[in-house]
Amino acid sequence: MKWMKFRIKTITDAEDIIISALYDIGLEGAQIEDKVPLTALEKEQMFVDILPDGPEDDGIAYLSFFVEEKDGELKEDGQPGLILNGEETSEEAILECVKRELEDLRCLMDIGEGTVSVEETEDIDWINNWKQYFHQFMIDDVLVIPSWEEVKPEDTGKMILHIDPGTAFGTGMHDTTQLCIKALRKFITPETTLLDVGTGSGILAILSLMFGAKKAVGTDLDPCAVDAVRENMEANGIAADDFTMMIGNIITEKEIQNQVGYECYDIVVANILAEVLLALTPVIVHQLKKGGIYITSGIIDDKEETVVSAVKAVGLEVLEVNYQGEWVSVVAQKSS
């Protein structure tokens, strides 16, 4: 399947109104490219695996809309037919409609340059194309293998984590994830009950069970995490009773806090951005058992002291501060 891409150069303030206007003529699913910094809410809903610093916002935005080409047929002018709203149309007709909508908006507000470029995309599997960049790798003595690769004969004796992160969650390659894994390996015992806040694809909780933990609970904001965790549990032979998943915000939702439980976790691990850890730590201290271990990562190096101070402020003792690349992990303990 091939697509025709209509790409509009505009300004960030006009993004929403242009998307809305073009939605009305049948163009849906805009791809947005801009340099707008993340809001506090967006940061709260993201868990590591992002660049620590983004480019400076220049106010420019690009909006791309994709229209399906009609298979195997060219129009009399040699151009492919396009399918929009279930009907055949042409590049020229769509381009004319887009330009007309933009000119109408220009009479009402600033839309910047408002130019439109058109190009044919390659025949790409948009959902799975990213997989070409993710291959098996080692984290200490753990071999991480994506679901689409086979275990080599020489690797059969290794501890193997089969992982399919999907398109929304991490793979375990990020420094912050590896910092957490190394700390978990150190502190897990056969009696460990673990809470993984922001579990994503379930990597940390699943590995904890493979390391010998007795039970794991994971929380996440994204409902997609449920399917990701289930598939990765099945791939690694994790029993359903050993890993419980909950969707909700443990920082702000009392119901989730109650479901998770109080003073019942030997380890809480949170691989989340530093800004979120500041809000999480005063809450999560109540989920930890006395003597429990709090493992945090997702901390860019210049946020180290801020997180350490937040941990100490709730009465936890800092045991370790570990580093990998430009990222930091803080490990602390609740007093017995």
Asked if residue 303 and residue 183 are part of one domain, the reply reads: yes
**Cα–Cα nearest to 189, from 205, 212, 161, 166:** 212
Residues in the chain: 336
Q: Is 26 annotated as a binding residue?
A: no
- pLDDT given for residue 50 in this prediction: 47
What mean pLDDT is predicted for residues 174-194?
Answer: 94
**Residue 94, pLDDT above cutoff 80:** yes
Q: What are 105-127's pLDDT values in tens digits? A: 999 899 999 999 999 876 555 55
**∠ CA 304-139-154 to the nearest 5 degrees?**
175
Among 77, 92, 120, identify where a domain stops: 120
Asked if residue 314 and residue 179 are part of one domain, the reply reads: yes
Q: Is 220 annotated as a binding residue?
A: yes
Q: Are 35 and 60 in contact (CB under 8 A)?
A: yes
Among 120, 137, 165, identify where a domain stops: 120
Asked if residue 245 and residue 97 are part of one domain, the reply reads: no
Percent of the chain with pLDDT over 90: 53
The total number of structural domains in the chain stands at 2
Residue 107 three-state SS: coil
- pLDDT given for residue 79 in this prediction: 65
Asked if residue 223 and residue 85 are part of one domain, the reply reads: no
What mean pLDDT is predicted for residues 191-211?
Answer: 95
What mean pLDDT is predicted for residues 229-233?
Answer: 92
Residues 6+ apart with CB under 8 A from 254: none
Q: Does residue 93 belong to any structural domain of this protein?
A: yes
Looking at residue 226, which CATH number applies to its domain? 3.40.50.150
User: How is residue 262 annotated by DSSP?
Assistant: S
Helix ranges restricted to H, the chain: 15-23, 40-44, 91-106, 175-187, 203-210, 224-235, 254-260, 274-284, 304-313
Residues 6+ apart with CB under 8 A from 289: 263, 264, 265, 266, 334
**Cα–Cα nearest to 184, from 50, 297, 309, 317:** 297
- pLDDT given for residue 170 in this prediction: 59
Structure tokens at 81: 């037919």
- pLDDT given for residue 24 in this prediction: 81
Q: Does residue 23 belong to any structural domain of this protein?
A: yes
The overall pTM is greater than 0.75? no
Asked if residue 217 and residue 80 are part of one domain, the reply reads: no
Q: Are 230 and 247 in contact (CB under 8 A)?
A: no
Q: Does residue 141 belong to any structural domain of this protein?
A: no
Give me the chain's average pLDDT, please.
Answer: 86
**Cα–Cα nearest to 172, from 218, 215, 138:** 138
- pLDDT given for residue 49 in this prediction: 45
Q: Does residue 154 belong to any structural domain of this protein?
A: no
Instruction: Give the lowest-confidence range in 38-42, 85-89, 171-175.
Output: 38-42
Asked if residue 92 and residue 231 are part of one domain, the reply reads: no
Comparison of pLDDT for 31 and 209, the residue scoring more = 209
Asked if residue 311 and residue 229 are part of one domain, the reply reads: yes
Q: Is 249 annotated as a binding residue?
A: no
**Residue 46, pLDDT above cutoff 50:** no
Q: Does residue 263 belong to any structural domain of this protein?
A: yes
Q: Is 39 annotated as a binding residue?
A: no
What mean pLDDT is predicted for residues 4-25?
Answer: 91
- pLDDT given for residue 69 in this prediction: 83
Q: Does residue 265 belong to any structural domain of this protein?
A: yes
Q: Which domain holds residue 102?
A: 3-120
Comparison of pLDDT for 63 and 133, the residue scoring more = 63
Q: Are 12 and 39 in contact (CB under 8 A)?
A: no
- pLDDT given for residue 74 in this prediction: 53
- pLDDT given for residue 139 in this prediction: 84
Whole-number Å distance between alpha carbons of 284 and 315: 12
Q: What are 275-306's pLDDT values in tens digits? A: 889 999 999 999 999 999 999 998 888 899 99
Asked if residue 292 and residue 206 are part of one domain, the reply reads: yes
Whole-number Å distance between alpha carbons of 78 and 147: 42
What mean pLDDT is predicted for residues 186-209?
Answer: 95
Looking at residue 106, which CATH number applies to its domain? 3.30.70
- pLDDT given for residue 138 in this prediction: 86
Whole-number Å distance between alpha carbons of 52 and 302: 10
- pLDDT given for residue 43 in this prediction: 54
Structure tokens at 49: 């695996």
Asked if residue 55 and residue 204 are part of one domain, the reply reads: no
Q: Does residue 144 belong to any structural domain of this protein?
A: no
pLDDT band of residue 134 (cuts 50, 70, 90) is low
Asked if residue 322 and residue 218 are part of one domain, the reply reads: yes
- pLDDT given for residue 193 in this prediction: 98
Q: Does residue 150 belong to any structural domain of this protein?
A: no
Phi, psi (deg, nearest 5) at residue 195: -115, 125
Whole-number Å distance between alpha carbons of 85 and 75: 19
Whole-number Å distance between alpha carbons of 144 and 139: 7
Q: What are 249-266's pLDDT values in tens digits? A: 999 999 999 999 999 999
Give the residue carrying structure tokens 């936890």: 316
